[in-house]
Chain A
Amino acid sequence: MSSEGRPALPVLTNRVRISRRGWFLVAAAIIALLPFVIQDSYWRTNLIVCAINIMLAIGLDFILGYAGQLNLGHSAFYGIGAYASTLLIMKLGVPFWMAFVLGMVLSSMSGMALSIFAVRLRGHYLAIASLGFAVIVHQVLLNWISLTQGPLGIYAIKPPPDIALPGLPIISFGSTANMFYLVASFAFLFYLLLDQLVRSPIGETLTAIREDEISASSFGINCTAWKVFAFGIGSALAGAAGAFYASFVGTLVPDAFIITESFTILAMVIVGGMGTLIGPVWGAILLTMLPELLRGFGDLRLVFYGAALTLVVLFMPGGIVQAAQIFRARLGRLATATDAGMRR
């Protein structure tokens, strides 16, 4: 950890600045330690679901928050990834990791197809088009029984195959700890990837398109290509999440990918803070864990959920990230005031 050079101040206000790399190391350390802190299968399951939701949320945020595309059909890409990878493994005997990549590719291609199709659509039109797309995908998964088994479901889906590295004990993904490491590592990797993209000129291009598409294109930016790109990346991540979902839960039914799933992911992005990368992570963690913590409340659980979403939008549209900034600013002011007070 490094702290930037600052003029000498009393210890009370010596704010230690952690660099970006520092935070990444902290995150990695937390991921590494979590399975040791949390030993029971139930909470580990929740952590894995968290990791999957983080993948979904950051992918959606890339499309929605950075590229400004109103995508309400993210559940479609999630479902395509899950079913594609599973069917490739179970019907064609494709090895897991190849099926995983192909699942991501298929999701990505659907995302890009939707984007190309909707290239002229703005705002609400795109929103409904993506919703319509998601409905169609769900209905196809439901009705094409000869391919997907439809509501009858696919069962006994195996976890990713064991990894045997020379000299090390065999890593089996039947263990929740190992599965968590796998999914969380991928989520982390995807986060790093998006972080790089967002801080590169690509990020600026997307922001330009989001803020004012017409002006951006007058600057020579090929808006269509970049929108398709954003969709491609975001939906690829959803496809990966789908593949992990299938191999973790072991059971696949079309109703796991109904359109309300899109709204759940959207809620994670908004509550966390749209347009930031860390926001969706917090949103995903909060909205995955909160229903579990609220289990004692039974039906009230979802009432809270709906209320939380509405209130966040009304009063804190920047989500958790905005709340954190306000909090930090208040603390800062407090520190400065104390500072001034101390100096006297």
Chain B
Amino acid sequence: MLTVALQQGINGIVFGSLYVLVALGLTLIYGVLVQINFAHADVVTIGAFAAYFFTFAFGGNYLISIGVALMVGAALGWLVNAAIFAPLRERGSELLPLIATIGVSILLQNAMLLWFGPIPYAFDSPYSNKVIRLWGGTFITLQNLIIVLVSALTIVLLYAFMKFTMMGKALRAVAQDRETAGLMGINPNQLIMLTFVIASALAGMGGAMLGPILVLTPFAGTSVIVKAFAIVIIGGFGNVEGTIIAGLLVGLIESYTTQFVNPGLTDIVVFTLLLLMLALRPTGLIAEKREENV
């Protein structure tokens, strides 16, 4: 019994890391742009397909394909921002960009459906079936271990970037007060583009790592996106630490609900938690003081 409980704990942390990979980009975008991007999950899917084709069609190395996916994600992010968010930013509406991203998401998914077809691709990396035995009879696959480690590394790097580099500080300045940051000589538009590119690159990279775990179809993103949003809110919009904690929390909830109740009910549990958070503590687990312009 202890083995099972431990194993589900490990599973939960792995799930959590998966979600964090997707949610990080979202939270970044929200933090700096105050923008919800529904097409984010489709960037993850495209990253996964990019990695798949690089590995299987071109015979490339899997680890390099992660880099390829990262670049594809970055390029896509640049494109989406330039074509959609930048022009809409001037209008100041909260709703229009959100809807535009819904449109882009539908477009991307169905374009992928046309290109790749609906039949799932069996994407296996050299690591996805290697099992590492841990203590107490528990185990983790090498792929999952890589995911956890890469997630952790990404988080640390991101954190360091935001806190210690000039660019990171500039990003935070733009997040706090775009106009004043502009007055300080920071070019907000360039920084916003940078945010988007970083976030989408993360998504693409996430896709490459998730590909061997996901059921790879053009709709793979939709299975993750709404939960990713839930995590971003539970953790606090724009808050990196909160997202991490929320992601791990949701992952653990999923694995333990699967164990003791029913896999079909995990969504209900997670979203009820979301609604509770919104009711009791809308700013998220780690409240970051955000001032509202009155």
Contacts and interface: CB of A to CB of B under 8 A. Distances in A.
Is there any pair of Cβ atoms, one from A and one from B, under 8 angstroms apart in the complex?
A: yes
Interface of A: 64, 70, 117-118, 120-125, 127-129, 131-133, 135-136, 139-140, 142-143, 214, 259-260, 263, 266-267, 270, 274, 299-300, 302-303, 305-314, 317
Contact of A139 (B30, B104, B229, B268): B268
A136 B103 contact: no
A136 B268 contact: yes
Contacts of A123: 94
B102 to A, nearest CB: 5
Q: Interface residues of A: mostly helix, strand, loop or mixed? A: helix
Contacts, number: 125
Given A143-B268, A309-B106, A132 B274 contact: yes
B267 A314 contact: no
A60 B145 CA distance: 45
B183 interface: no
Contacts of B133: none
A229 to B, nearest CB: 21
| 3 closest residue pairs by CB, A with B | A306-B107, A306-B106, A309-B103
A133 to B, nearest CB: 7
Nearest to A142: B264
A310 B84 CA distance: 8
Nearest to B112: A303
Contacts of B105: 306
Interface in B60-102: 84, 87-88, 91, 93-100, 102
Contacts of B97: 313
Interface in B184-238: 222, 226, 229-230, 233, 237
Contacts of A263: 102, 106
30 contacts: A70-B94, A70-B95, A117-B275, A117-B279, A122-B292, A124-B94, A125-B278, A128-B36, A131-B229, A132-B230, A132-B271, A132-B278, A139-B265, A139-B267, A139-B271, A143-B264, A274-B95, A300-B114, A302-B106, A302-B109, A306-B105, A306-B110, A309-B99, A309-B100, A309-B102, A310-B103, A313-B97, A313-B100, A313-B103, A314-B100
Interface of B: 30, 34, 36, 84, 87-88, 91, 93-100, 102-111, 113-114, 222, 226, 229-230, 233, 237, 262, 264-265, 267-268, 271-272, 274-275, 278-279, 282, 292, 294
A313 B96 contact: yes
Contacts of B272: 136
A262 to B, nearest CB: 10
Given A129-B275, A214-B294, A303-B107, A267 B226 contact: no
Contacts of A314: 84, 87-88, 100
B229 A310 contact: no
B34 A124 contact: yes
Nearest to A310: B103
Contacts of B237: 124-125
B268 A140 contact: yes
B87 A317 contact: no
A305 B106 contact: yes
A294 to B, nearest CB: 12
Which of B87, B229, B272, B275 has the largest number of chain A CB atoms within 10 A?
Answer: B275
Given A118-B278, A124-B34, A310 B267 contact: no
B282 A120 contact: yes
A128 B229 contact: yes
A256 to B, nearest CB: 17
B226 A270 contact: no
A266 B111 CA distance: 21
